[in-house]
Amino acid sequence: MKTPVAEWPAVRDVVRELDLSQVYVNRLVRQGRLRAVRTRLGWLVDPESVQAYARERAQRRAVRAA
């Protein structure tokens, strides 16, 4: 089920969740790797795309560790 945009996290929340810098999260948004919308209050990021990115990141780490 899709999360309403009003409930999407702000970039600062994604930064904390993924333990990345704000600059890098903004770059992921610009590159389209994280789906986001710009509002008057700032960027809101699709939580499903955050979870997908986290899964991809974990897979890349596992491959490197193997």
What is the per-residue pLDDT across 5-61, written as a single tens digit (0 to 9) for each? 889 999 999 999 999 999 999 999 999 999 999 999 899 999 999 999 999 999 999
- Domain 5-65 fold is Multidrug-efflux Transporter Regulator; Chain: A; Domain 2 (1.10.1660)
**In the chain, where the domains are located:** 5-65
Who contacts 7 (Cβ-Cβ below 8 Å, separation ≥6)? 47
Q: What is the DSSP letter of 4?
A: P
Q: Are 44 and 8 in contact (CB under 8 A)?
A: yes
* Residue 66 confidence (pLDDT) above 90: no
pTM summary value = 0.88
How far is the C-alpha of 2 from the C-alpha of 40, rounded, in Å? 22
Structure tokens at 30: 């610009």
How far is the C-alpha of 47 from the C-alpha of 8, rounded, in Å? 6
